[in-house]
């Protein structure tokens, strides 16, 4: 992104046409990540791009952001899935990995999610996108906000294919995401996975 261009302009979309908005958002992400590889910076700007893109096309998105995988070296027994697991609680074995809340747009959200739990933990564990048209029909959905009705979670994979986090978007209406929305989010997650230094 050129120095003489206001960065905020990247969050301003001059059309309501979905494919154009998504194309512009992806081009902005490419430009932003070309000059920056620090994960927190890129996730923060990506959250802004998603939020404003969805607003421009009239979607009722109430949360758009990221969870990042907690590094093993920072993992404490109390962060692990200790339900009935004495060995983990006593620090003799490391439990399941944990997703930590990262940059986002929207209301305050759950701070940690263990792999395998909720939509985010399911996508992180499987390494694949999870689309939930109706959160009430997803067993184990974690309701950070009771007004969320549908959700998409896309894993973020690094160059080696390791899961480094997830991209999560929530919507106030049932069946709030179509195929083009999911494609946009998968493209963005791909750029993020390749465009960041995952030294956290």
- Positions in the binding site for ligand SME (CB under 6 A): 63, 109-110, 113, 118-121, 141-142, 144, 148, 151, 168, 170
Transcribe 66-83 into DSSP letters: EEEEPPGGG--GGGS--T
Contact call for residues 57 and 168 (beta carbons, < 8 A)? no
Between 33 and 104, name the residue whose CB sits nearer to ligand SME: 104
Between 18 and 149, name the residue whose CB sits nearer to ligand SME: 149
Between 63 and 198, name the residue whose CB sits nearer to ligand SME: 63
Give whole-number Cα distances, 108 to 77, 104, 145, in Å: 25, 9, 9
CB of 61 to ligand SME, least distance (A): 11
Q: Is the dihedral of CA 28, 21, 13, 109 positive or negative?
A: negative
Between 98 and 148, name the residue whose CB sits nearer to ligand SME: 148
- Tokens read off for 116: 């395998």
CB of 4 to ligand SME, least distance (A): 36
CB of 99 to ligand SME, least distance (A): 8
């Amino acid at each position: 992104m050129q120095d003489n261009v206001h960065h905020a302009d990247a969050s301003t979309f001059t059309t309501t046409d979905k494919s154009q908005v998504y194309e512009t958002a992806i081009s902005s992400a490419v430009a932003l990540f070309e000059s920056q590889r620090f994960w927190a910076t890129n996730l923060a700007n990506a959250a802004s791009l998603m939020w404003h893109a969805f607003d421009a096309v009239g979607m009722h998105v109430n949360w758009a952001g990221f969870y990042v995988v907690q590094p093993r070296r920072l993992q404490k027994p109390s962060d692990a899935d200790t339900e009935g697991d004495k060995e983990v609680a006593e620090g003799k074995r490391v439990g399941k990995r944990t997703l930590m809340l990262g940059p986002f747009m929207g209301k305050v959200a759950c701070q940690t999610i263990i792999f395998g739990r909720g939509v985010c933990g399911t996508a992180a564990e499987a390494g694949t996108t999870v689309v939930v048209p109706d959160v009430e029909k997803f067993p184990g959905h974690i309701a950070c906000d009771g007004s969320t009705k549908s959700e998409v979670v896309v894993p973020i994979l690094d160059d080696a294919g390791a899961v480094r986090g997830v991209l999560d978007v929530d919507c106030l209406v049932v069946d709030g995401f179509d195929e083009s929305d999911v494609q946009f989010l998968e493209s963005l997650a791909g750029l993020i996975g390749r465009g960041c230094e995952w030294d956290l």
